A = this chain, B = another copy of it.
Amino acid sequence: MTTITLRNLRKEFDDVVAVNGLDLTVRDGEFLVVVGPSGCGKSTTLRLLAGLETATDGEIRMDDRDVTGTEPKDRNVAMVFQNYALYPHMTGRRNVTFGMNAGGSFTDEEINRRVAEAAETLDITDLLDRKPQAMSGGERQRVALGRAIVRDPDAFLMDEPLSNLDAKLRIQMRAELTQLHAELGTTTVYVTHDQTEAMTLGERVVVMDDGRIQQVDPPQSLYDFPANRFVAEFIGDPAMNMIDVAVEEGVAVHDAFRIPLPAGNAADETGSGSETESLADPDAGDRSHAVLGVRPEDLHLARERPDLGETEFDATVDVTEPLGDSLLVHCSVGDATFKMSAEPRSSLDPGGTVSVTYDSERLHLFEPETGEAFYHSATAPAPSDRIERVVTD
């Protein structure tokens, strides 16, 4: 049970700044997911935690120990790699026990007990006598988890542990990981570039881009109150629609439509830099350029959601994609294009015109230059969830 604290953590490789001043606290027993696009520094952060890379600057603390310069083996963390990193020539059991023997801190008996326990937990008892070659991807990953578990580390560090698995297996393993964490309660830092994984697994999610933390929040807050365009577009599939608008007296104005903005919240008063006027005061909020963000599932065919009132506008259907549980409709209105969800079995002809309505509770506005969110029409999340929010630029 460990709290991990990063203070102004930096890592430079020759010419690249991989991690650019992270401040973050991983709470004791928390399942923290780090998500971000490829190359944003997720793995580097994790490897810094593990001690596999040396920080260029900054500090890493585990509970009250400063471990910044500590050898990996002395940090008592266990890492699970994307490609499993099982020793190919050892049986499952040897793989699991190999690291334990190294420490020398376990008796044979204890090792046996722990392996049996872990195998039980992960349901890999049958696999213990096989070599990795004779295991499927999921089985390998489970053994790799087993190896991490038996050492009873202070923290688990996982680097995209599921991304080599196929979709079905990934979903299944996701559930197993959640359950495992519930059982063990070990502090876990989990890196992924898959936002679904981030959303479903994380108690809190760190979104990184370009070596910096963009937002740290529980999944749903991230989804509902993205701190900036990057987060808004990164989280959510299909991505949030972004439309250039002007804001005039509390109304988002576009050539082809006008969307009144409920007197909601100015976003993110902790946000540095974007000293935006609160839209709660409609007069102060006028500006000629803003970006309106609406998620596809918050746009609807007017005929499907009469309950949303008269706030509709017309758009042209470009393409439709059936997703099974819904129909994704690519539309254009004026010079803007957007996507929206429709009922799965709706029949819409490309080229036709549809009447579109929206959920006025789910509108977002972003600064066009900095990308900072300055308005969310929904009510802000409880502040307690947002304590760790760190803005890095």
Contact = CB atoms under 8 A, between A and B. Distances in A.
A325 B238 CA distance: 10
Contact of A223 (B178, B220, B328, B344): B344
Given A178-B319, A319-B178, A324 B220 contact: yes
Contacts of A323: 196, 199-200
Interface string A224-248: 1000000000111111000000000
Given A37-B168, A167-B193, A178-B319, 6 more contacts: A168-B234, A199-B322, A199-B324, A218-B322, A220-B324, A236-B325
A11 interface: no
Interface in A318-338: 319, 321-325, 327-328
A327 B199 CA distance: 10
A173 to B, nearest CB: 14
A223 B324 contact: yes
28 contacts: A37-B166, A37-B168, A38-B166, A166-B193, A167-B237, A168-B234, A168-B239, A171-B237, A171-B238, A178-B321, A195-B324, A196-B323, A199-B321, A200-B321, A200-B322, A218-B322, A219-B322, A220-B324, A220-B327, A220-B345, A223-B324, A223-B344, A224-B344, A224-B345, A235-B324, A236-B324, A236-B325, A297-B325
B194 A324 contact: no
A170 to B, nearest CB: 10
Interface in A262-301: 295, 297
Contacts of A321: 178, 199-200
Nearest to A38: B166
Interface of A: 37-38, 166-168, 171, 175, 178, 193-196, 199-200, 218-220, 223-224, 234-239, 295, 297, 319, 321-325, 327-328, 344-345
Given A237-B171, A319-B178, A219 B324 contact: yes
Nearest to A193: B166
A207 to B, nearest CB: 13
